[in-house]
Amino acid sequence: MKMLINAAIAAGFTIVGAAGTVFAEYPTKPITVVVPYGPGGAADLAARIIGNEATEYLGEAVLVVNQTGAAGVTGSTMVAKGPKDGHQVLMSRVGSQATVPAMNETIPYTWDEFTMLGIVELNPFAIAVAADSPYQTFEDLAAALKGDEKLTYSSAGVGTLLHMASLIVIDDLGVSSDAHIHVPFKGGGNATAAVISGNADFIFHNLSGLIGGIESGQLRALVVTTPERVDRIPETPTATEVGHPNLNTVVGWSGVWGPGGMDQEAVDTWVATLESLKNDESWNAATAELGSIPTVMSPEETRAFVEQQFNTFRVVADKLGMVVR
């Protein structure tokens, strides 16, 4: 009964005088959620949780399809240029929807041409060093970055969010981008291992990718990009606490996007569905289990949040001459 009631609410209906009830038509078939990255990653897992839980509110099956390529651009383009009826939506991510558009103006879409239905989760970032690192606090690391010694920082590759994140730290400290050495790896896991093994001095990475090393004692977190301290690492200060609130723009996220000009009925249905998930215990528990923070934003809040992040990335990329035009 709950499924039927919620499906009807999500789909919406109007009473038309004596003619009776006229039910809205969306959705009329299964909905495809396009993931612009491969299976098993953060975007894929978030999409599958949405698929499992949102079906109850949408009244139709939700199918997850991985459309990889070009750092998320291939799958994102598929949705941006696809049908507007709401039966194909995007599992958006910070990389494909903010970082890449900020650094590359030649891709087939802009950051703001999508219909932003809502961010659904945040993936805070943390700066971490090896457990035996001489840098005990963020202030220690900041002093070293401002000094004469060349430090090394690891990332998942040139132009990735992890790379951009470290450049934002260095820039926020008023230090030249070439004052320290970038060590790129294939993937965040290898980049994290480099810090643990002493082959890089620090990393600025998704907390979900660091938490295992932190809790096992292999890594020390120096700062986290959340408004409040994280329960699992309560001793780690926030970026605001250490006097660098600009670092709070470095945060991963997942959201549900449609193409620009998406059918309004489909928009309303998805917004209502995401609002329902906000109070859904099963969805909240599954999202938190991944190390993410369940955070459902309205379309308006989402657009403002992404715009601020895009602008931050663009300023840094412009300053470093990294924008492809």
Q: What is the pLDDT of residues 189-229, one digit of tens each?
A: 899 999 999 999 999 998 888 988 999 999 999 999 988 89
Under 8 Å between Cβ of 224 and 211: no
Average pLDDT over residues 286-310: 93
| Domain boundaries 124-249, corresponding CATH code | 3.40.190.10
Do domains 2-122+251-319 and 124-249 share one topology? The answer is yes
> What residue ranges do the domains of the chain occupy?
2-122+251-319, 124-249
Largest pairwise CA distance in the chain:
81
- Helices assigned H by DSSP within 157-292: 161-172, 188-196, 207-215, 264-278, 281-289
Residue 295 parent element (H or E): none
Q: What's the CA gap between 140 and 200, in Å, rounded? A: 16
Contacts of residue 251, defined as CB under 8 A and 6 or more positions apart, other chains included, come to: 94, 122, 123, 124, 125, 225, 226, 309
Q: Where are the beta strands (DSSP E) in 58-136?
A: 62-66, 88-93, 115-130
Residue 15 parent element (H or E): strand 13-16
Quick: pLDDT tens for 120-175: 999 899 999 999 999 999 999 999 999 999 999 999 888 788 898 999 999 999 99
Quick: pLDDT tens for 42-57: 889 899 999 999 999 9
Instruction: Compute how many other C-beta atoms are within 10 angstroms of the C-beta atom of residue 185.
Output: 20
Q: How many residues does the chain have?
A: 325
pTM for the structure as a whole: 0.80
| Domain boundaries 2-122+251-319, corresponding CATH code | 3.40.190.150
CA 207 to chain centre: 12
Q: Is the pLDDT of residue 188 over 90?
A: no
